[in-house]
Structure 1
Amino acid sequence: MIPPGETIGILGGGQLGRMIALAAAQLGYRCHIYAPEGDPIAADVAAQFTQGAFDDTAALAAFAANCGVVTYEFENVPVAPLAAITPHAPLYPPARALEVAQDRVNEKRFVDALGGRTAPWQAVDSEADLAAAMAAIGTPGILKTRRDGYDGKGQWRIMTAEQGQALDLPDVPLIYEGFVDFFGEFSVILVRGGDGAIAFWDSAHNHHVDGILARSTVPAPAAIAAQVAAARVLAGKVADALDYVGVLTLEFFATDHGPVFNEMAPRVHNSGHWTIEGALTSQFENHVRAICGLPLGATALAARGTVMDNLIGDAAHDWATILSDPANHLHLYGKAAVLPGRKMGHVTRLIL
């Protein structure tokens, strides 16, 4: 157990790290942010900040030596340099979770082996591979980079084989996935303690615009909620197979034939922001509890339901209008530059 008063190291300086640090402070912990950028928003609410590259093993070791436990706020931290951390402090979630989640082919193989249902897929490393994948799976489909893509980035919709043949492929490993005929999207967010205990939050119905999450609604419609139990079984298998500690998110398509796994995130997740006001214990607090070895908090709804809307780009300028409704809970992340497609904050409303 890492007692309150100790320091939690957080790799990454974005809004997820910021919200983890806020939850940690409530429990009496200090947070130390490690990030390559010079002025990360998470550092605004943390006790310490170290600027360093994620592949600088000497800097990582020095950082970890001043922490009781280390976690991360996004899944694209290079795995190999993390070996410099573990002689000094435990790392949760484990690095194995990053190895799986960082590569879409590894992720699909991992979930397939656990009996999960995924979209039909094939690895693509050449034009010939893409042609073979389109022939085997059919079109339409989606070509994705195996690594680093998020919020719709690094993805190309291919409606016909001719369109695929005309693509100028990037010189990176790719994956081709067949389209899934779905009527809704939802996420399963769980927290797993070091003792193997697992707790789930209610699953949100997620609505995306241009590949970016726009709204999460809890509870989900009945047709989606009916598929949550089966999705939780897979999520539990994933967590157990990874010997996971912390908050884990799996995203699913709801289809006429049951849930289809889309992707996983070994961290707190945008579709769980509603839990700050909408659950008895937020995903951020329970992440801190889990990685520090504390008892997990209750995950039940704090109201009949919650709606969470992301504030994308210029939408953050509407803060005065948002606050004019006393029922709104506004969260602004403190980002200096307002850019199209950039998540600047979110707002939640409880359904009483």
Structure 2
Amino acid sequence: MLSIGSSLDRRCAYSGEVDVDAYAEAHHGEWTRLEELSGRRSLSGAEADELLDLYQRTATHLSVVRSLGPDPTLVRYLSWLLARARTRAGGARVTTWATVRSFLLERFPAALYRLRRWWLGTLVANVVVTAVMMLWLLEHPAVEQSLLGPRQIDELVTNDVEGYYHESAASHFATQVWVNNSWVAALCIALGVLGLPVLWLLFTNIANLAVIGAIMTRHDRGTLFWGLILPHGLLELTAVFVAAGVGLRLCWAWVDPGPLPRGRSLALEGRTAGTCVLGLALVLAVSGAIEGFVTPSGLPTWARVGIGVLAEVAFLLYVFVLGRAAVARGHTGDVDAALLDDRVATAA
């Protein structure tokens, strides 16, 4: 039945030779099965996948039927069937451990590895620019005085930097930091499609870091500053640079789409960017927990920084071990092929 239906689809798409009755007879079994699955109260994982697959096929069938010379009765039936299946599918594709496992061990690390040149380049460039800015500010103390008054500098050095991490309870602080950083990462990806806005967003963040770092270093509080920044900052800033790199790749997808049509190139990178948004929210949850519970803790500086370094190393191993293996198995970071729209051949 399926092979006959596929043959009919191709013939209809290219020449319109097959009539509606023959087409309906070829696909009647699929429509009946879709109607049966849409009426069930509960579905297994395999049945939910089958329902989605049949839904996509039937959507294609409806398009073909309309192109053959619409049969109002059949069009109404297929439209009703698709509406019913759509409603059922909304609750059928529950998140399973297999789905979560696939995302964490294949889809997300594959996306990070495939886009590694973009975000690693972004990371290195920002680190270099931050270091240059700090060194320049240390050699030009007049700039510091033009940015902040003596009282503001004194407050910053003696209270503000350290007090920031003790403003609220650790759990509330961690949540607040996670939400803020997730928003910054999402902005980097969303604005990245335009190119320049994400560069400005990155510059404002590293300029703030460079200015405060230079002031703290000049006033012999550099050890305190880096002891507070590094535990969570390594992973947190890496996640932000990943988001920026992904956003810039999204921009490049329409500037230079390569062998793909511009629309398909942008769609591919857009779906992969969606994967990165979800994954980076988890990464930033980890850095937020470190910032909320480790950074302001009473642990010695070496222990707090050590935890930050371990988190960063774990992330890099995740990308370059799991991600590389996932890419070798054919994963790209894009959504499953079953979730993509069917492409129907059309006459040139």
TM-score (norm 1): 0.26
- Which structure has the highest strand share of the two? 1
TM-score (norm 2): 0.26
Higher relative contact order (CA 8 A, sep 6+): 2
